[in-house]
Structure 1
């Protein structure tokens, strides 16, 4: 805000009531008395804002109206800049703008007055009683209030920071200019700078360590985003654990990482999640180490690095974390960050499963079912799938449905197969959704219902299942649960085939061979039949998959 903005309003408020005129003068005088009696500077924000709010209420005045009267008053520049500033600083009248408040305080103290007059005012802060309604008296009070508020404004948000930077400048010879630049950006409301300043306070990077300042600045960095957070309990939980995390509690640091990763109580930010997981992992927390490995494996908040992922999973697994053991087994099974070793994969899955990891139990069942790192044993596969499924793992629930549908390790039972597919599908497992659709399409363990089959195939597709894309193609080709549409059938076969589904590749070949949903093209038909055969769909490589 410039002085010109206030000067433009000098013709306003010519018809103020006597009551409003008296109130505007009195609020300057009364607030002046309040401010020179101030002793508790640590809580000045609450004290001043509460005083003004109560003052307005006692005098039956509306904060928005009073703010408007002060801003448009012909003497606004001389009398009211400091009071207007405090309205903006504390959001009185629903206009929170600390930057504008600072500009108003600076404008206040730059108003030209006689030097002797100003010096006399500062020497007699509580003695100004003569001619209290004079122009200069109110102007001087405005200046004195502005001086106080400006110094307190800086005291709260700047001076402590400057002292902290100066401390480390003396002791560590840090780059003072960079520190002050960061501070300036933070004070101007740059959320990234505020967050980085908080980390500096937390770790003593170029500034004296101060956990309270770290906490305050970190909350400021997220303040503008709290409006998006509807769960008050999650926000309170985040703030509670944040204090522990700043105090270098590795368990709390892992939780803060989880909050940032999933948007729990704070705005989602994967980079910050990675940084907190890293702090937790460096502090020896095995869960944080596992989560850090996951970030490296999947490129969450950092560049993808499978070697780093493996190393952090290994630390977590060696520390006894069952999820870290499961992920380490997955690395060995698939050669992620380490040479493929199915025997070690099985061993780590076993340790994880016996330790109670439901994902480890599911993966161990898969090893037994397919003879990965151990002898094939469908009975043990069924047992481990059962334990994992009953503990809520949606993939195991789907696999258990397979066991019941095809009699793997247990008696064949299509009704139980349907029930477990249903559990898995409702838990958003794409494979479970596809299999549930297959049950409805073919009346397996339930009544045949092609409409429901189509609906579950569609949900599975939305969750990324390429086999369900092929099944959708079949629905459109033959009008199962949806109107027949050969063009859409071709499109879904094409999507599934490109993604690598051998059944879809075969069906796509059939479409090209017979001109279904596309122009007939025997060359392309042969190419897609060949891809299907190479991917293992031997029995139907030259015929249509029904």
Structure 2
């Protein structure tokens, strides 16, 4: 048919213009071919738009890129709608960002199945780019993008489930999505998983996640430590200490011992308190003072204060009022409330 021959002619002329570096002419001919039904010509217009946006072999022009993307969108090219949305989201040269136009284009791309477009919409709602934060819409967009395979949306979906934001809190679902995003190669996968494990392990102790599972808590803490969180067992120990549940004192002590392996001064102070109070271990004041001293010498305020108390009272160590006051002052200068109180009440001393 004549129309088919003309379509092929226009497409061929567009290709010739491309080879000659005449992108404006190429767009003109590809547009004529696209008007006659050549979808490949519409896609060529999108590719030319990318050249103008990135400056690939031509002088950069956001205006010409925008025009190409808009033409391609009219012909139903999903990638063009996505790129147009991203262009409006970052802001064209010399212009501010245009969130409303960005949303409209990204919605078109998302409706056509784009995972990245759905993820970007989630980010817009999550960060309030449209003017206010909308966590409900953010979660729906992230979940849609995650189901389509977007790794960053998988991580965000997991965080929504972990926090119970706009959806019921579900630590199992949170872990599943975060691990999927990490396994998909997202560059933030390790960091996000570490952060989730560090918080969730304590929630499995306190029951904040819906159930108590101390075995799961310990397993998560071990993995978080492997991923670089060297203080996770200190925080897990605190969770056990404050849970009020039977046998959690022993578990707290074990956590503090594990944390102490990473040379964390606060863990030495926590061990000192365990020995002093008989929490999870037989009471031993001399042992407690050893740990307080170690923590104090490592600049831990709690250790300084309790080592100072021990020196002041001669408990587990020879009494030394002068040394006691020195340590209490150091602790108070770091903001320890107990040391500040003792200095005022027992020594009539206030920091200035």
Task: Give the structure-2-normalised TM-score.
Answer: 0.51
Alignment equivalent of 1:205, drawn from 143, 146, 157: 146
Matches of 1:343 and 1:405, distance apart in 2? 29
- Do 2:205 and 2:213's aligned partners in 1 also have CA atoms closer than 8 Å? yes
Alignment equivalent of 1:314, drawn from 218, 221, 239: 218
* Counterpart check, 1:292 vs 2:200: yes
| C-alpha spacing 1:341/1:207, structure 2 compared with 1 (3 Å) | closer
Q: CA deviation at 1:412?
A: 1.2
| C-alpha spacing 1:190/1:362, structure 2 compared with 1 (3 Å) | same
For residue 292 of structure 2, what is the aligned residue in structure 1? 385
Q: CA deviation at 1:358?
A: 2.2
For residue 167 of structure 2, what is the aligned residue in structure 1? none
| C-alpha spacing 1:324/1:307, structure 2 compared with 1 (3 Å) | farther
Residue-by-residue CA offset, 1:479-523 (whole Å, 9 max, x unaligned): xxxxxxxxxxxxxxxxxxxxxxxxxxxxxxxxxxxxxxxxxxxxx
Residue-by-residue CA offset, 1:465-490 (whole Å, 9 max, x unaligned): xxxxxxxxxxxxxxxxxxxxxxxxxx
| C-alpha spacing 1:343/1:369, structure 2 compared with 1 (3 Å) | same
* Counterpart check, 1:192 vs 2:133: yes
Matches of 1:343 and 1:294, distance apart in 2? 15
* Counterpart check, 1:435 vs 2:342: yes
> Equivalences for 1:441-452 in 2 at 5 Å?
441=348, 449=349, 452=350
For residue 82 of structure 2, what is the aligned residue in structure 1? none
- Do 1:316 and 1:325's aligned partners in 2 also have CA atoms closer than 8 Å? no
| C-alpha spacing 1:163/1:194, structure 2 compared with 1 (3 Å) | farther
SS of residue matched to 2:253: helix
The count of corresponding residues between Structure 1 and Structure 2 is 247
- RMSD, aligned CA: 5.2
* Counterpart check, 1:251 vs 2:190: yes
Matches of 1:194 and 1:182, distance apart in 2? 10
For residue 108 of structure 2, what is the aligned residue in structure 1? 162
| C-alpha spacing 1:333/1:367, structure 2 compared with 1 (3 Å) | same
Quick check: which has more Rg, 1 or 2? 1
SS of residue matched to 1:362: helix
Q: CA deviation at 1:352?
A: 2.5
* Counterpart check, 1:325 vs 2:233: yes
Q: CA deviation at 1:430?
A: 1.4
* Counterpart check, 1:351 vs 2:258: yes
- Do 1:332 and 1:339's aligned partners in 2 also have CA atoms closer than 8 Å? no
Matches of 1:163 and 1:413, distance apart in 2? 74
Matches of 1:402 and 1:384, distance apart in 2? 13
Residue-by-residue CA offset, 1:193-234 (whole Å, 9 max, x unaligned): 49965994698236562769x99xxxxxxxxxxxxxxxxxxx
Matches of 1:361 and 1:315, distance apart in 2? 22
Matches of 1:413 and 1:306, distance apart in 2? 50
- Do 1:401 and 1:421's aligned partners in 2 also have CA atoms closer than 8 Å? yes
Residue-by-residue CA offset, 1:342-370 (whole Å, 9 max, x unaligned): 33433332233234232221111112223
Q: CA deviation at 1:377?
A: 2.1
Matches of 1:335 and 1:210, distance apart in 2? 35
> Equivalences for 1:63-212 in 2 at 5 Å?
98=98, 154=101, 158-167=104-113, 189-193=130-134, 197=138, 200=141, 204-205=145-146, 209=150
| C-alpha spacing 1:246/1:184, structure 2 compared with 1 (3 Å) | same
| C-alpha spacing 1:407/1:251, structure 2 compared with 1 (3 Å) | farther
SS of residue matched to 1:204: helix
Matches of 1:393 and 1:182, distance apart in 2? 40
- Do 1:164 and 1:208's aligned partners in 2 also have CA atoms closer than 8 Å? no
> Equivalences for 1:260-271 in 2 at 5 Å?
none
| Structure 2 stretches lacking a partner, 5+ long | 1-27, 29-47, 64-87, 157-183
Q: CA deviation at 1:190?
A: 4.0
Task: Give the structure-1-normalised TM-score.
Answer: 0.35
Matches of 2:124 and 2:344, distance apart in 1? 58
For residue 247 of structure 2, what is the aligned residue in structure 1? 340
SS of residue matched to 1:410: coil
